[in-house]
Structure 1
Amino acid sequence: MEASSRRRVSLVPLLLVIIGCCACRAQIPIPARTDGFVYGGKPPAWGETVVVEAFLDPVCPDSRDAWPALKKVVEHYSSRVSIVVHLFPLPYHSYAFIACRSIHAVNKLNPSFVYRLLEKFFKDQERYYNQPTYEKSRATVVRLMK
């Protein structure tokens, strides 16, 4: 019985190596293009300008407060600074995912409206969280976002 138990123990490390090799092949490839939305319409000149990557939640008051300063930076240093906004819905903002999804949909239809919609969310965001949404259904809040 000792010989058979030694064989089982010696197969465990081999099995772990095989599983580890298979797991390495399941990695996601690097995307062909950078995600995010470039502010100002021109693609960032990687290596030639400072690229500020901002992770914003359309329903987050901190993102709303940071946005005007980011826009001023681009306006002031337009030839030397680029901003790429990545939408980052935070889990504790109930309707952030829906807001981000709508911005991505608008980008597919007409990319020139992305920042108009983002700024609309910033302007009216108190309507999409906390007390104003407590007694409303998800469908009602989605209709408010239209």
Structure 2
Amino acid sequence: MLSLGAPRDMRILHPFGGKAEYGLRLDIRADTGPDIIGDAHALPFRDEIFDVVVLDPPYSDDHSKELYGTGQLHFKKYINEAARVLKLGGFLVMYHSLSMPGAPSCRLRIRLLVETRVNHLARIVHIRQKDNTKQLELIKTTF
């Protein structure tokens, strides 16, 4: 497995990450061994405190129900929460089986296709960076 590592002072959050290998792991299921038991739809953190947020949610409502016994996933809620806790200049990394829409105040930097093995769904990795694009657009239209 390729691991690029991260600086020790980098604050990384995994909102669906009970079994993640690094960073702060938040998960709705206690049996996955997360650092914090919680829901990605309502993160228990103040605004703009993480350098990186890694989203690897269940890829469908059926998958969510099967794995976690939870109901429908609400993309807008968990993506808004991820963007809220992400620092300006920070990176939002999202894994999914589909190409996903954007996140508030985050610009797409790269989209990668990851194939893990034969006869398995490929995963799409979206890497977005939080910036002040909307603020700049507002300034341009105001003056």
Q: TM-score, normalised by structure 1?
A: 0.25
Report which of the two structures shows the higher radius of gyration computed on alpha carbons. 1
Higher fraction of helix:
1
TM-score, length basis structure 2:
0.25
- The structure carrying a bigger strand percent of its residues is 2
